[in-house]
């Protein structure tokens, strides 16, 4: 019953967040369109750079031009989902922790996980990259002549979900340091996630195993687009199973949960010293 109530709350809060996003778009349409346009241009510049390199050299590391385009489409879908659900630091949780703003969530009559899951949903002002990703995916699928079935679409959705879980889990894992050193670690999640984003958009095919393996384990940049794309194309690299991303998540989540809860327990006991009595942040 509690799970059903929580799920219902999540859906309602996502709807409220979407309405607020639409209200902002309608209230300040010119400014919103400028932001949307800049976001699209920024993302396409990254995608087009890699695609043009592959077009110039007839592919990258054994991946054809169309396969690289497919990977860029997957990467753009991930970027779109990230922007739609993470525009208010709920993914970059170290900012909330480091700034001493976690107490704002404590006083709300909702579980913290529900608040974090629903506070940033912005389909109208943040969904542009996702739409572009869908268009690129359709183009890449037609150029590759893939047999798209319901099962394949479901596999795509599962891989997208797993990739987002990896991104969020890694962000929360490194953000645990902000409980202990709020000033120094306020931006660590940004560094860990978006600081290596460009690396995740480049195909790792053709690189030696001593480069690929660390980017599929310690720094999972290869799981952001390269590995899932090849799995969807029917040829997972390095002889690994198509279930490897799911296995990685199964291992990563308990570690992240344990370390984050330890940090949260420390935070509850010690509090934050970021704010001086008259309201300014150190």
Q: Which of 59-73, 108-122, 205-219, 249-263 has the lowest average pLDDT?
A: 108-122
| pLDDT tens digits, one per residue of 102-133 | 888 888 887 888 888 888 888 888 888 899 99
Look up residue 89 and give its DSSP letter. S
> How far is the C-alpha of 112 from the C-alpha of 109, rounded, in Å?
9
pLDDT at 3 over 70: no
**Six-digit token string for 77:** 């879908």
Distances (CA, A) of 223 to 61, 82, 148, 170, 281: 17, 15, 22, 12, 37
> How far is the C-alpha of 80 from the C-alpha of 89, rounded, in Å?
15
Task: Identify the pLDDT of residue 111.
Answer: 81
In the predicted model, what is the mean pLDDT of residues 195-219?
Answer: 84
Could you tell me the end-to-end alpha-carbon distance of the chain, in angstroms, rounded to an integer? Answer: 44
> How far is the C-alpha of 113 from the C-alpha of 36, rounded, in Å?
28
> How far is the C-alpha of 126 from the C-alpha of 130, rounded, in Å?
8
Residue 202's nearest CA partner among 166, 229, 167, 226 is 226
**Six-digit token string for 1:** 């019953």
> How far is the C-alpha of 159 from the C-alpha of 115, rounded, in Å?
25
Look up residue 125 and give its DSSP letter. T
Using DSSP, state whether 195 is helix, strand or coil.
helix
**Six-digit token string for 134:** 């869908």
Q: How confident is the model at residue 1 (pLDDT cuts 50, 70, 90)?
A: very low
In the predicted model, what is the mean pLDDT of residues 166-190?
Answer: 90
Between 66 and 108, the higher pLDDT residue: 66
pLDDT at 2 over 70: no
pLDDT at 66 over 50: yes
Entry pTM: 0.89
Other CB atoms within 10 A of residue 45 CB:
9
Task: Identify the pLDDT of residue 100.
Answer: 80
Q: How confident is the model at residue 268 (pLDDT cuts 50, 70, 90)?
A: confident
**Six-digit token string for 274:** 């970021």
Q: Which of 66-70, 157-161, 271-275 has the lowest average pLDDT?
A: 271-275
Residue 77's nearest CA partner among 15, 141, 22, 25 is 141
Is the Cβ–Cβ distance between 47 and 225 less than 8 Å?
no
> How far is the C-alpha of 175 from the C-alpha of 89, rounded, in Å?
12
Q: Which of 7-11, 53-57, 71-75, 180-184 has the highest mean pLDDT?
A: 71-75
| Residue 226 CB contacts under 8 Å (≥ 6 apart), including other chains | 71, 200, 202, 203, 204, 205, 237
Q: Which of 108-117, 167-176, 207-216, 237-246 has the lowest average pLDDT?
A: 108-117
- Sign of torsion over alpha carbons 233, 238, 241, 242: negative
pLDDT at 264 over 50: yes
Using DSSP, state whether 34 is helix, strand or coil.
helix
Q: How confident is the model at residue 278 (pLDDT cuts 50, 70, 90)?
A: low
Q: Position of tokens 């993914």?
A: 91
Residue 93's nearest CA partner among 211, 175, 184 is 175
């Amino acid at each position: 019953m509690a799970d059903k109530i929580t799920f219902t709350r999540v859906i309602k809060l996502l709807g409220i967040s979407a309405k607020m996003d639409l209200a902002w778009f309608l209230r300040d349409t010119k400014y919103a369109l400028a932001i949307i346009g800049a976001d699209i241009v920024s993302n396409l510049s990254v995608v087009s750079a890699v695609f043009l390199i592959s077009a110039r050299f007839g592919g990258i590391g054994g991946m054809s031009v169309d396969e690289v385009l497919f990977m860029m489409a997957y990467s753009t879908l991930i970027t779109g989902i990230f922007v739609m659900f993470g525009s208010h630091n709920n993914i970059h949780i170290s900012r909330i922790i480091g700034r001493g703003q976690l107490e704002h969530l404590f006083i709300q009559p909702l579980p913290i996980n529900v608040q974090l899951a629903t506070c940033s949903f912005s389909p109208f002002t943040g969904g542009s990259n996702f739409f572009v990703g869908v268009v690129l995916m359709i183009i890449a699928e037609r150029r590759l002549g893939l047999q798209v079935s319901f099962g394949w679409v479901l596999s795509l959705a599962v891989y997208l979900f797993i990739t987002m879980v990896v991104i969020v889990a890694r962000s929360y894992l490194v953000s645990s340091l902000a409980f202990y050193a709020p000033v120094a670690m306020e931006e660590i999640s940004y560094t860990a996630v978006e600081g290596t984003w460009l690396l995740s958009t480049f195909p790792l095919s053709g690189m030696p195993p001593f480069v690929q393996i660390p980017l599929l384990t310690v720094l999972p940049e290869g799981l952001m687009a390269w590995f899932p794309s090849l799995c969807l194309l029917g040829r997972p690299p390095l002889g690994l199973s198509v279930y490897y991303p799911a296995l990685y998540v199964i291992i990563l989540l308990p570690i992240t949960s344990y370390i984050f809860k330890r940090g949260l327990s420390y935070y509850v006991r010690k509090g934050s010293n970021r704010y001086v009595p008259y309201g300014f942040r150190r």
